[in-house]
Structure 1
């Protein structure tokens, strides 16, 4: 496996970082005579890997730090309103709670004087096929909603029994991670972080489990939306006798 444990929890990891790291890992796999597989993960990151990103200016640490301080002092909703004024298109696209994208959009504007949405429109992004000179075959292994939800619930229970809450506690103690850090936006981590902040919740473990379950199902629905239109394989029993038929479907893809 590649791209596992490549950042410390307090560090940001942008979509551009992912593209560069993924391209590098793919070349390493080819050098070893292997076929690289991109499996699972965040659909937005896969999409930007596939489509590429507009070439944006490098981050300016001083401007980024200033925006970060303002966000903490004034609130990110206030900075989102500022973004709407200088770049209405980006302001309408970026959610008020997505502080990482708000920060980047304001940073680009303050660095160049050009709205980030204009750079998006004039994108000279290279797709994965262009960057890597390869054919990218994408497909989804899917299950029905009736089968997926019990699996989500069972997986969550296993994670909680294995010490999910204790893991987040240890991360907070070691790194002092703020609840709004990019790494804490992941489903489960955010809910546990809120649970550990006594001022933000009065519920118990059952309420925590429910909140993670709701967020997990919401994420699964969003991922299903991303996957519409993809080639789909039946994933109900991928490791059973049906595996052979699935492999035949794969090898028959153009």
Structure 2
């Protein structure tokens, strides 16, 4: 999905100071977004909205680095612990929930601070979202049966015939996204691409965007490795065991595809030992960070803050003041 769009450019140029502010703190995993959001909220009477596809899930605390009550420091947080791990949550779900939270916070006379690293969620708020129909269980089951009978490669080829743009964008070894694209086509008669091209109008907000980044990739990798090690020490494996015992989850659910959880599930299934699980978890987290950084480099109207800097709060407050 391309962050550059004519809609976004129009929205940016037509943004007026009459539009209520929404602060967006973006960045790769382990860059300190939540901590900065909490410090900012204390300064500007704000509330934090999580933009994280894993923090929405209950009982997924250690592997998501979910802030606890002490870390929140009395600041109201939204879109954390709203679902159990056995339930899916879409970009459309986030869009609806986030807009409701933004309106609620503005109505209190406070400032919403969106903080997280799920770039598809930020993209939906900034550029609009299409009214793609929700999942159709029966059709989805049929597509999954088709994959089982004919093979993933064959179903990807079929997708290329009815929706070449989606097929070009989706990796032939990505069963989740292939299934979704085929499901949309078979249940609506329209390709996923055509649905995605029908965008809702831009939201009437003045987005103030900052991204926590670093040119020192080794420093970020060090933070990622340390944090993953700490997660394991705090009981990540026990947390995953509890989830597997408590909920009807499987490795294909969005919650269990989260970095860290996927590797622990594979470890518990006997695919590899704990040391290799840690190594793979760290590598997967690095890859996630790389994707997030690539996306952010193409983001317009965004001030870059160095994650190693000690005055990011002051810089962010200056940026907000400039837009008064």
Do both share a fold (TM > 0.5)? yes
More relative contact order, 1 or 2 (CA 8 Å, 6+ apart): 2
The structural deviation recorded for 1:125 is: 2.7
| Cross-structure match for 2:276 | 207
Q: Tell me: CA distance 1:31–1:75, structure 2 relative to 1, closer, same or farther (3 Å).
A: farther
| Cross-structure match for 1:138 | 209
| Cross-structure match for 1:51 | 127
Q: Which runs of 5+ in 2 are unaligned?
A: 1-76
Whether contact under 8 Å (2:210, 2:316) holds in the other structure is no
| Cross-structure match for 1:152 | 224
The structural deviation recorded for 1:60 is: 3.0
From 168, 182, 185, the counterpart of 1:92: 168
From 292, 296, 305, the counterpart of 1:227: 296
Q: Tell me: CA distance 1:49–1:99, structure 2 relative to 1, closer, same or farther (3 Å).
A: farther
Which range is displaced more, 170-179 or 206-215?
170-179
Which is richer in strand? Answer: 2
> What is the aligned-residue RMSD (CA, Å)?
2.2
The structural deviation recorded for 1:250 is: 4.4
From 108, 113, 124, the counterpart of 2:199: 124
From 109, 114, 124, the counterpart of 2:185: 109
Give me the whole-angstrom Cα distance separating, in 2, the residues matched to 1:166 and 1:72.
32
| Cross-structure match for 1:25 | 101
Whether contact under 8 Å (1:100, 1:182) holds in the other structure is no
Q: Which runs of 5+ in 1 are unaligned?
A: none
The structural deviation recorded for 1:228 is: 0.8
Which is richer in helix? Answer: 1
1:39-75: CA deviations, max 9, x gaps? 0131122112221222223443332333344445655
